[in-house]
Amino acid sequence: MQDLKSRQQAQDEALLQRFEAVQSTLSKQPSLPSCEVALIVVTKTFPLARIAPLLSHGHRRFGENRVQEASDKWDGVRDEYPDLCLHAVGALQSNKALQAVRLFDVIHSLDRPRLAYALAEAMAKTSKNVECFVQVNVGCEQQKAGVALKELESFLRCCREKCALPVVGLMCLPPHEETPAPYFALLANLAREHGLLQLSMGMSADYVEALAFGATHVRIGSAIMGSRDENIPSA
């Protein structure tokens, strides 16, 4: 038993060390002088028990990619931590819009009109404003979520004018196994072009580069939480 307890303790300490290391890297990046970069710890597949040390440490901004998993995990947490800030970072089905609006504070995966209309309806119904990032398919990958580059302008108009959604920025996942820098640069240019100030880009493997291109939100999972391999697969 003692062994188990000390192993748990060592695991928690290692987690906090990785968290501090990422925070320290973020604080050294002068990407936006007047604005702190928002660190979203992506906790998909990890149970609350593994996340608890971060909550105790004072961190409040977390990301999940599935509505049901997020709801099971986080629903009870808000009572104890009312300043919890939950970010939806994964593909969102429009039939889950209402549940998502109730649960999340920010959505990073707005990428099609049907979802925009469903979110607008859900926000009206709940009188809750959930900030949205429009996800852009920067690598023009067929299988990937995100609005196509050539449709971005009309989609933004749909979100802003028809749906009156609070669109605050753009989000991307660059293609795997490619240098992400040109994609980060592209996303930053698109945001500037469309008068959007926030950029959700950068994950464990590439967040330092994303910062160099002006990321305002980084979504970091494994570099803080550890490998997801031994966890139950999530999407």
Ligand X SMILES: *Cc1c(COP(=O)(O)O)cnc(C)c1O
Candidates 112-120, 154-162, 188-196, 200-208; binding stretch for ligand X (CB under 6 A): 200-208
Is 23 near ligand X (CB under 6 A)? no
Complex with ligand X: residue 124 or 174, whichever CB lies closer: 174
- 208, burial (CB in 10 Å: exposed 0-12, middle 13-18, buried 19+): middle
How many CB atoms lie under 10 A from the CB of residue 142? 6
CB of residue 171 vs ligand X: minimum separation in angstroms? 8
DSSP, collapsed to helix, strand or coil, labels residue 109 as strand
Q: Under 8 Å CB-to-CB from 15, ≥6 apart: which residues?
A: 50, 53, 54, 224, 225, 226
82 vs 80: CA distance, rounded Å: 6
Contact 106, 131 (CB under 8 A): yes
Is 203 near ligand X (CB under 6 A)? yes
Q: Which residue is nearest to ligand X (CB)?
A: 221
Paired with 85 in beta bridges are 61
Contact 45, 231 (CB under 8 A): yes
CB of residue 6 vs ligand X: minimum separation in angstroms? 27
Q: Which of 204, 208, 212, 226 binds ligand X (CB under 6 A)?
A: 204
Complex with ligand X: residue 68 or 154, whichever CB lies closer: 68
Q: Which of 19, 44, 46, 210 binds ligand X (CB under 6 A)?
A: 44
CB of residue 1 vs ligand X: minimum separation in angstroms? 32
Tokens standing for residue 210: 């994303």
The site that binds ligand X (CB under 6 A) totals a number of residues, namely 14
Q: Which of residues 49-68 bind ligand X (CB under 6 A)?
A: 65
Q: Which of 42, 97, 116, 215 binds ligand X (CB under 6 A)?
A: 42
Tell me the HSE value of 81 on the side-chain side, using a 13 A CA sphere: 17
Complex with ligand X: residue 61 or 160, whichever CB lies closer: 61
The 164-183 contact track toward ligand X, x by CB under 6 A, reads ---------x----------
Residue from 68, 163, 165 nearest 107 by CA: 165
Complex with ligand X: residue 152 or 220, whichever CB lies closer: 220
152 vs 154: CA distance, rounded Å: 6
CB of residue 160 vs ligand X: minimum separation in angstroms? 23
Which residue ranges make up the site for ligand X (CB under 6 A)?
42, 44, 65, 89-90, 173, 203-205, 219-223
